[in-house]
Amino acid sequence: MDGISQIPNITTPYYYIAVGLFLILFEIVYIRLARHYDINDRPGQRSSHRHSVPTGGGVIIYLSVLIFISWHTYMASTSWWTLLGSCTVLAIISFIDDVDPLTPESRLLIQIVVISFAFRGLIHEETFNVFVIILLLGTGLVNAYNFMDGINGMLVAYSIVFLSTMLYYILSIHPYATATYSPRMFEGLIISLLIASIVLAFFNFRRNALVFSGDVGSISMGYCVMYIIASTIVYTADASIIVFLMVYAVDTVYTILQRLFEGERITLPHRKHLYQILVHRQGYSHLAVSFGYASTQLAINVAYFLIPSQLHWTYAITVLTLLTFAYFIMKH
């Protein structure tokens, strides 16, 4: 993978305030346009709502990436433009899918090509196995993020927890730099994504959401999350940080295995995730489920920083075991 030149967080608080205000205004205008042009998410097989709601509001996730990298264009390397270009392709395809749904197979193929291009630097003998793992798990993570949008507040709440955790991790745990890489290069990008998530939460983390993220938001966020965590793992050799996504990962992986065991096509819509069951069968509110997932993940992440670093892998395995038991007990 090509080294990404470090982009110091030289922007002032006024920059982030300006970005936040712009994203708020953009979202207000977008919601009106979406209603006018009938860009709505209507209740369907996978839906968790009863009425048509404007979708595609997560475009501000992509805009936060576009603005940040463009603002720092004088310092950005080729790999930063690769990140922006890849995210742009996924955002465009995903927005088209929000307006006029594409086939699952075509979306999957595009995602595989984009992720392969982004991590093409790992395609050589010494790191090819790492590339394959990132390609498979990364594609799965991007698609898994897409399912979050069905529950009000799930995408933004969970993303805020992850991004906040990664920000603390890169600032406090790995404040070093090398000639080609420093985890701190993601500092400004993470803050930008956090601002976009908070803005989107204002419109989405409600009993009756004003707008849904849509594929354009969930896929863009999923890709950025994948890129940040995969790049950090590659360059720090610390894969234990996968625990920062463990709650949703456990739900997603075991649900996929269940559907494969039952002979279902995993590309088709469904309501078999644990959080979907909690909403549809058990009658919990969207916000209660979203808060429950986010707060559980937050507690896990906080505990990660309270234990000695040599026990991080033991902790990750323990968390995986406990979440597995909790998943099956709650689901059945």
Q: What is the rounded distance in angstroms from the CA atom of residue 252 to the CA atom of residue 245? A: 11
State pLDDT tens for residues 9-60. Answer: 456 788 899 999 999 999 999 999 999 998 887 665 455 555 678 999 999 9
Query: What is the overall mean pLDDT for the chain?
Result: 87
How many CB atoms are located within 10 Å of the residue 259 CB? 15
- How high is the pLDDT of residue 72? 75
Residue 189 has pLDDT above 50, yes or no: yes
Task: Please compute the mean of the pLDDT values over residues 249-266 and round it to a whole number.
Answer: 87
Task: Please compute the mean of the pLDDT values over residues 220-237 and round it to a whole number.
Answer: 91
Residue 196 has pLDDT above 60, yes or no: yes
**Residue 10, burial from CB neighbour count under 10 angstroms (0-12, 13-18, 19+):** exposed
29-32-34 Cα angle (round to 5): 105
Task: Please compute the mean of the pLDDT values over residues 238-257 and round it to a whole number.
Answer: 92
- How high is the pLDDT of residue 75? 58
Q: 121 versus 57: which is more confidently predicted?
A: 57
Phi-psi region of 263 (alpha: psi -120 to 50; beta: other; left: phi over 0): left
Task: Please compute the mean of the pLDDT values over residues 177-187 and round it to a whole number.
Answer: 59
- How high is the pLDDT of residue 281? 86
Q: 209 versus 185: which is more confidently predicted?
A: 209
Residue type, 13: P
